[in-house]
Chain A
Amino acid sequence: EVQLVESGGGLVKPGGSLRLSCAASGFTFSIYNMNWVRQAPGRGLEWVSSISTSGSYIYYADSVKGRFTISRDNAKNSLYLQMNSLRAEDTAVYYCAREDSLQSFDPWGQGTLVTVSS
């Protein structure tokens, strides 16, 4: 079964850091681009970042550029999101999602909640 499981969310103070992980199973992780998408409470989906199969191509939303870093470890079938200088507006459920060859996201993980508050 294709599965994505996020972890690492929690409560952090403004200006703090957090590292999210996404463990992939049931498919050949190394041949898929991967993405992070977030959803603030009661709000819509916001794409955060994407990384190509080898990590050569990386893209970020303007809202997180310079503060967040996406990475992957194909040997460990894992995707990461290092989040620094966190702000209250970064509070959201963070989903990882596999990107197929036609650039759609399928499947998505169950999400991990990040709360930035003093």
Chain B
Amino acid sequence: QSVLTQPPSASGTPGQRVTISCSGSNSNIGSNTVHWYQQLPGTAPKLLIYSNNQRPSGVPDRLSGSKSGTSASLAISGLQSEDEADYYCAVWDDSLNGRVFGGGTKLTVL
């Protein structure tokens, strides 16, 4: 059971907008910044969003992140087949004194 709760799956059709949620607590999301990672099948994870809502260079602006209280979310608009991947949220947890990842959300493009 992960400290951060993500839906196990999400789906959408090409062009649609999908949102992936990440729910935590005051000791993690409530007091630290959230990062999001994308893992394409058979590859290493890649940083997608850092510090709640910042995109590294090369990440398209149709991907965005937000945080409110003890929850965060990743939004992908203009869904494309190449977005089919696993997505993970991550944050430092002050109580555990360590990093925690969400359980991951498998995004399917129908």
Closest to A49 in B: B98
User: Which residues of A97-111 are within 8 A (CB) of B?
Assistant: 100, 102-111
When the two chains form their complex, are residues A105 and B90 in contact, meaning their CB atoms are under 8 A apart?
Answer: yes
Known A-B contacts A44-B102, A44-B103, A45-B88; A108 and B45 likewise in contact (beta carbons under 8 Å) = yes
When the two chains form their complex, are residues B51 and A108 in contact, meaning their CB atoms are under 8 A apart?
Answer: no
Known A-B contacts A105-B90, A108-B45, A111-B44; A47 and B99 likewise in contact (beta carbons under 8 Å) = yes
Enumerate chain B residues within 8 angstroms of A109, measured Cβ to Cβ. 44
Residue tally, chain A, CB below 8 Å to B? 23
Query: Whole-angstrom distance between the alpha carbons of A95 and B37 in the complex?
Result: 14
Enumerate chain B residues within 8 angstroms of A50, measured Cβ to Cβ. 98-99
Closest to B86 in A: A44
Distance to closest chain A CB from B68 (angstroms): 19
User: Which residues of A1-45 are within 8 A (CB) of B?
Assistant: 35, 37, 44-45
A-B contact pairs, 29 of them (CB 8 A): A35-B99, A37-B45, A37-B101, A44-B86, A44-B101, A44-B103, A45-B39, A45-B45, A45-B90, A50-B98, A50-B99, A60-B98, A61-B98, A62-B98, A95-B44, A102-B50, A103-B33, A103-B35, A104-B50, A104-B51, A104-B90, A105-B37, A105-B47, A106-B50, A107-B47, A108-B45, A109-B44, A110-B44, A111-B44
Residues of chain B whose beta carbon lies under 8 Å from any beta carbon of chain A: 2, 32-33, 35, 37, 39, 44-47, 50-51, 54, 56, 86, 88, 90, 92, 96-104
